[in-house]
Amino acid sequence: MAPGFPKRSVWLIAYTLAVTLLCVFVFTGNGLIDTAAFLALLVPLFIASDFDKCDPRVGMPVFAFVLLCALPIIGMRNTFYLDVAIQVGIFAVLALGLNIVVGFAGLLDLGFIAFFAVGAYLWAIVSSPHGAALLGVGFPLQGDAFFVVAVAAVFVAAGTGALLGLPVLRLKGDYLAIVTLGFGEVIRVLANNLDKPVNITNGPQGIAAIAQPLTEVAGALATTTAPAFKWQALIYYAVVLTLVLVAVLANRRLDSSSIGRSWLAIREDEIAAQAMGIPLVRTKLIAFATGAAFAGTMGVLFAAKQTFVSPESFDFNQSIGVLAMIVLGGLGSIRGVMMGAGLVTILNLQVLKSLSAGLNHLRATGFEIFGWSFANLPTQFEPSKYERLIFGLILIAMMLYRPRGLVPAQRRPISAKNAGRVS
């Protein structure tokens, strides 16, 4: 904000550099302290992305430094951090997609993960031996066809979204919610059942040996200290980062475009919006299809990264999980939903895991506190069994503490230029 170079920026830069050095050279493991250090490294991302409080001229370089320099280095040392970053990225884009549907247009979608599944199965079928048996000559596709299919998935998923949306978007509020929930379940059940009469999805057995993109690049870069799989993870990281960037830009543009204003109008008052000449069904369909497109692309990436898909990755809990991310983060707020995605994913994959591993270690070594030994902890208290319970409590606490989300959406004033062409 202020011209010149305020003291806070100096602190931010110093802090970022210091934590990066600590993460790269000292806390390289997976323990509690390492996790804490890693989280500390993410704090600058949070601060630097708040352009109201942080000068973009300082924030942007800090932001870029953490994402493009610090994280890859840490990730190449310990690929777990890359995997976490990739998963955060996948869920961030999913959250951004759902944010369009729920946050912008106000349509409650409880089956969002279905479109993720469509993308995942699309790539799984065209690039695996299983799919080759089904599709015949020319298949499976090479791993590098990934990029083509990822683009194709945008249209396939958007088409599916439009197809599913068409009959049901007349429904209001919670009726729409249950129907989308139904669609989500239908897609999962179809994936689980379509091994008979025609074997398309291989049913509950799932599809294995899915091709990965750019394996030859990873192979060429491989050295003894940095084997190919680490480079492969870095490639995925780069792809995810690009997709997140695209998704954020798309979200921003949509938010301030005329269609974004139409969504807002529908969300706030459907009847008034209709009276102003906004075509309800078409506007809602676009929201549905756009959200689905985000999810479909990430599905392709997910399938490639996992090299295996099965229906259990796409159940109702996953839809609910993405919804939790955007509500926790702040409905309609781009920065918020991304934070929500990061928070939920890191909490689940990293913080709670290392917490229970740490407790377990205390038990294994018979650590004593006030004369009471952790070794006495009965097996029913096995910490890793209560990760979901703790997660549930955190959800409640965060919602009560910040009911509008971590970063509530702000109504920006509409510029005169755009105000005229709402529909």
Partner 1 sequence: MSFQLALELLPPTLADGLILGLLYATIALGYTMVYGVLGLINFAHSEIFMVGAVVAVELLTYVLAGSSLHPVAQLVLAMIVAAAVSAALAGLAERIAYRPLRRSNAPKLAPLITAIGISLFLQDAVRFVESLFGQFIRPFPSMPFFDIPLPLTPNDSVPMKSLVILIVAGAMLAGLRYTVNQTRLGKAIRAVATDRMAASLMGIDVNRIVMLTFLIGGALAGVAGTLYALQFGRVDPFSGFIPGLKAFTAAVLGGIGSIPGAMVGGIVLGLIEMLIGTFVPILTNNAIGTEYKDIFAFGILILILIFKPTGLLGRPSTEKV
Partner 2 sequence: MRLMKTLTAATTSLLLLTGAAIAEDKGTIKIVTQSPLSGQQSVAGEGIMLGAQLAVAQFGKQLTDMGFQLSLQPEDDQATPNVGVANANRILNDPAVLGVVGHYNSGVAIPSSEVYAKDNLVMVSPANTNPAITDRETTRAIANRICGRDDIQGPAGANFAMDTLKAKKVYIINDKSAYGSGIAQTFEAAARKNGANVILSTGMDQNETDFSSILNRARVDQPDLIYYGGTYPQGGLIIKQMRQKGLKAAFLGGDGLDSGDLQKIAGPENMTNAYFTTTALPLSQMPAAAAFAQTYKAKFNKDPEVYSAYGYDSARVVIEAIVAAAKAKGGTMPSRAAVAEAVRGVKFDGVTGAIAFNNRGDIASAKYVVIEAGKSADANKIVKIIDVAAPGGS
CA 2 to CA 24: how far, in whole Å?
A: 33
CA 306 to CA 309: how far, in whole Å?
A: 7
Q: Assess 328 for contact with partner 1 (CB under 8 A).
A: yes
Q: Assess 271 for contact with partner 2 (CB under 8 A).
A: no
Q: CB under 8 A: which stretch of 9-17, 101-109, 197-205, 283-291 binds partner 2? A: 197-205
174 binds, among partner 1, partner 2, none (CB under 5 to 8 A by kind): partner 1
Q: Assess 324 for contact with partner 1 (CB under 8 A).
A: yes
Q: Assess 347 for contact with partner 1 (CB under 8 A).
A: no
Contacts of 367 (CB under 8 A, 6+ apart): 373, 374, 375
Between 134 and 171, CB nearer to partner 1: 171
245 binds, among partner 2, partner 1, none (CB under 5 to 8 A by kind): none
Residues of this chain, 199-258, that bind partner 2 according to CB under 8 A: 203-206, 208-209, 227, 229
Q: Assess 389 for contact with partner 1 (CB under 8 A).
A: yes
State the nearest-atom distance from the C-beta of 411 to partner 2, in Å. Answer: 36
Site string for partner 2, 384-413 (x = CB under 8 A): xxxxxx------------------------
- Among 291, 264, 106, smallest CA distance to 184 is for 291
DSSP string computed for 58-74:
HHHHHHHHIIIIIHHHH
Q: Assess 386 for contact with partner 1 (CB under 8 A).
A: yes
Q: Assess 411 for contact with partner 1 (CB under 8 A).
A: no
- Among 358, 348, 345, smallest CA distance to 31 is for 358
Contacts of 132 (CB under 8 A, 6+ apart): 139, 140
State the nearest-atom distance from the C-beta of 104 to partner 1, in Å. Answer: 13
**CA distance to 22, 83, 125, 144, per residue, from 147 (Å):** 36, 20, 15, 6
Q: Assess 28 for contact with partner 2 (CB under 8 A).
A: yes
Q: Assess 369 for contact with partner 2 (CB under 8 A).
A: yes
Number of residues that bind partner 1 (CB under 8 A): 47
State the nearest-atom distance from the C-beta of 280 to partner 2, in Å. Answer: 36
Between 273 and 295, CB nearer to partner 2: 295
* CB 147 within 8 Å of CB 218: no
Contacts of 319 (CB under 8 A, 6+ apart): 109, 110, 111, 112, 113, 114, 181, 184
Q: Is the dihedral of CA 121, 173, 287, 318 positive or negative?
A: negative
CA 108 to CA 89: how far, in whole Å?
A: 23
Enumerate binding residues for partner 1 (CB under 8 A): 102, 108, 167-168, 170-172, 174-175, 177-179, 181-183, 185-186, 189-190, 192-193, 196-197, 271, 316, 320, 323-324, 327-328, 331, 380, 385-386, 388-389, 391-396, 399-400, 403-405
